[in-house]
Every structure is written in structure tokens, then in C-alpha cells.
Chain A
């Protein structure tokens, strides 16, 4: 994807988000550029999910700016997709779930089924195309959510702890799909609790502590030698469960 025609970079300037008087995101400024897979790390309640929802446009910031390179709001919206911790699938077949997303993206009716099948093939779910989405296993449901995102060909894919509820086997399958996204040129922005996963999939880490960006570093440097005291403490506390 050529840089000049894309919606990236995404420029966050002094972003704040407060709820009930409590600052959840407290002055984050960061430039998200095309290319490296970005992992958002931080303790529970640090503000990782809220930060991604602000980027994706699901939440409005209390103050600060969220500026995409493209000013075309419709293009910016279509250039992104998000996969949530718990996949929300409609009570219809796996195939129909993807076709629904394509319909909303104004893909011509004649194209939808073929594109949806291509996406199912990408995540290895062609066999269950006609099964109701809600009776699939947890791992299959999350892969279907990824296929739905795949079909939309987003420039940026946000993933909010996509494997938090899954067993190791299903987690590996999800990671493979995320790698395929990365290889296809989609910008990955993912939050995770799984440090091994951060290392396997990430190129750079944004470490969030109490609503602030405490550290931004390449993955290997972050794990080898965190610059901030907060990140060092976080890694110390988390590593035994890695």
C-alpha cells in the first residue's frame, strides 16, 4: 500500500479520555506509522483497550486530537477493522457473517460470496462456511472474526487481546492469521497480556502505565532492557507467568 494514498500515519496529540471524573487516558501523544506491528502492553486497567477504541473511533476523546493522514472520514473508517477480545458474531452462517460486513462496506452483491469464501479460506474455515457462526468453537469464532476483518482489506487492524479467552492451540492458529495480515502489509495494532505473543508478533511496544505512554521501544530492546522503571517492574511481575 503506497504511503501517499493510505490513511496512515495516525497522529495522536495529547489525547485524554476521562470517565466519571477519572482520567483513563491521560495525555498520550504518539505517531502510529505504517509498517511495524505495534503491541500495546500494560497492566489491567492501564488504558490499553480504551486507547485502541479511541484510535478506532469507537470512543470520543475528552480532549486532544486524533488525526489520520487522510481527511476523508469515510475512507478512514473503511481503512480500519477491529477484532475484539470476545468475537461478536451474528446468528447466521459463518459465510453470511462475512457477507454482512461486505454489504456494509458497499461491496457489490455479486462479489460478496466469492470474497467471503476467499477470507474463510485464508483462516482455514471453508469447511464450516455454512454452519451457524454461534455454534462454532471459541477459536473458530475468533478466526471467523479475523476472516471478517480480512475480507474488508483494512489498512490498519486493531486487535484487543484477541487470544485472551483461548487455549494454546487456538491461540497459535490466531497468531498465524495475524502474521498473515502483517505479511500482507496490514498495519497491526494489538494489545495483549501474553508477553510471549508480544515477542512473536510485535516489532515495537507501546507500554501504557496509568493512562500514560511510559515507554516506546523496539520489541527486543523493550524485553532486554526496558528504559522506564514502570516497564521494568511490569516485566518482572509478569514474567513468571509467561
Chain B
């Protein structure tokens, strides 16, 4: 049976990887939508905002279908492995990071637009400049994504299978122990999870504040 340490470590590894991937894709995507002027932009914004509320079990199910033996990506044999969990959580978190980034960049664009256009920074260039310039505010978007990833159980339990020692993470363990009736263990794991999330957020906040004092 996997130890508590292994479970916590896997939780962190899966969710941090998913958030890193989702940030890499979601931040430029959100910024591009914020700065871009194209047809269907408003519909995309509505869709993106709606996707923030994607039910984890539905994402889990879709990724399950993609990765299952008969699915289009079945040949990679990823189902019931940690990479499958990372993929599912990336899909889950991507809209959150992209949508929150879109909003922040759009707000900043109001302030920067004339100056950047005056200097000759066009679409993509302006978007990347903005993302870098409001990087401290975007920490909040990334943290929202991380909170979602660490807290969800629906997606990881479907694509991971909660296999002891392989794909068992904190939330799936809590679900399992609760159903087995071991409430004290489930509850203490719950507290560990909450403490961990608070700790990560506190660290991010400290870094953000220090950076803001430094750069204004």
C-alpha cells in the first residue's frame, strides 16, 4: 500500500504538471483573445468563461474515451497512468487559466493600448508584452487553476483508476476511505490537502508581493 508521502507527492506532481502545461498554452491563448479583433471573438469569450465550470467527471470521461484501447490515442497505452491524469487535469484547468488571463490582459490593454500601438507593437507582440508586464497579477489565474487541479476527484479517478501505488492521489484516497468508512483517515487526509493548498497560495502571495514591491 502506498504511503501518505507517496500519495501527497503524486498529487503534487500530477497537478503541478497539469498547471504548468495549461499555463504554457492558456496564458498566450487568453492574451491573444484579449488583444485580437476577429469574428466570433465574443462567442469564444462566452464559451471560454463557460468552460471554467467544466464538470471534472465529464472531462475525465472524454479523456477516457480518447485514451481507451479503442480510442484515437489508445495505442499509447496511457490510460490508468499518471500521464493520463495530467492530460485530463490540463484540459480541466486550461479554460480557467485562459479565461482569467484574458480578463486581466484585456483590462491592462485599456491602459497600454495607445502607448504600445504608438511604439508599433502589433497583435501578438503586444499580447506577449502584456502577459509579461502583468505577470504578477497572472499568478492569481495560475493559482485558481492549481486549486482546481488539486481539489478535483472526478477526472483523475476515471482516467487514473485510483490504483494503489500507481495512480492513487489525495482526493481519490479520501473518496475511497470515506466509502470504506474510515472517516478519521479521510478527514485527516482532507486537512493535509487543505493545508497544502493554503501553503502553496501563501508562498505564491509572498513571491508576488516581493516582486511587486521591487517592480512597481
Interface on A for B, CB 8 Å cutoff?
53, 56, 58, 77-78, 80-82, 84, 88, 90-92, 100-101, 104-105, 132-135, 148
Chain A contacts for B132, CB-based, 8 A: 91
Question: 27 A-B Cβ contacts within 8 A?
Answer: A56-B118, A58-B114, A58-B117, A58-B118, A81-B118, A84-B114, A88-B111, A88-B112, A88-B115, A88-B116, A90-B129, A91-B132, A91-B133, A91-B136, A91-B215, A100-B119, A100-B129, A101-B119, A104-B120, A104-B121, A104-B125, A105-B119, A105-B120, A132-B216, A133-B216, A134-B215, A135-B216
- Interface residue B214 (Cβ < 8 Å from any Cβ of A): yes
Cα distance, A125 to B127, chains bound together (Å): 29
Cα distance, A82 to B115, chains bound together (Å): 8
Cα distance, A78 to B135, chains bound together (Å): 29
- Which residues of B (15-33) have their CB < 8 Å from a CB of A? none
Determine whether the beta carbon of A78 is less than 8 Å from that of B120.
yes
Q: A88-B112, A88-B116, A91-B132 are in contact. List 5 more A-B contacts (CB 8 A).
A: A88-B115, A100-B129, A104-B120, A132-B216, A148-B119
Q: Which of B114, B121, B136 contacts A53 (CB 8 A)?
A: B114
Shortest beta-carbon distance from A50 to chain B in Å: 12
Cα distance, A2 to B133, chains bound together (Å): 39
Cα distance, A90 to B134, chains bound together (Å): 9
Contact with A along B103-129 (1 / 0, CB 8 A): 000000001101111111100010001
Count how many chain B residues have C-beta atoms less than 8 Å from C-beta atoms of the other chain.
Answer: 20
Shortest beta-carbon distance from A122 to chain B in Å: 18
Cα distance, A220 to B52, chains bound together (Å): 63
Determine whether the beta carbon of B119 is less than 8 Å from that of A92.
no
Chain A contacts for B116, CB-based, 8 A: 88
Determine whether the beta carbon of B115 is less than 8 Å from that of A135.
no
Shortest beta-carbon distance from A79 to chain B in Å: 12
- Which residues of B (167-216) have their CB < 8 Å from a CB of A? 214-216
Which chain B residue shows the least CB distance to A86? B111
Cα distance, A77 to B115, chains bound together (Å): 13
Chain A contacts for B112, CB-based, 8 A: 88
- Which residues of B (136-153) have their CB < 8 Å from a CB of A? 136
Which chain B residue shows the least CB distance to A106? B120
The residue among A84, A88, A100 with the most chain B CB atoms within 10 A of its own CB is A88
Cα distance, A187 to B114, chains bound together (Å): 20
The residue among B115, B116, B215 with the most chain A CB atoms within 10 A of its own CB is B115
Closest 4 CB pairs of A and B: A134-B216, A88-B115, A135-B216, A132-B215
Determine whether the beta carbon of B114 is less than 8 Å from that of A91.
no
Cα distance, A92 to B130, chains bound together (Å): 12
Cα distance, A104 to B116, chains bound together (Å): 10
Chain B contacts for A91, CB-based, 8 A: 132-136, 215-216
Q: A132-B215, A132-B216, A133-B216 are in contact. Are A90 and B133 (CB under 8 A)?
A: yes
Determine whether the beta carbon of A77 is less than 8 Å from that of B120.
yes
Cα distance, A77 to B118, chains bound together (Å): 8
Chain B contacts for A58, CB-based, 8 A: 114, 117-118
Chain B contacts for A82, CB-based, 8 A: 114, 118
The residue among B111, B112, B114, B121 with the most chain A CB atoms within 10 A of its own CB is B114
Chain A contacts for B216, CB-based, 8 A: 91, 132-135
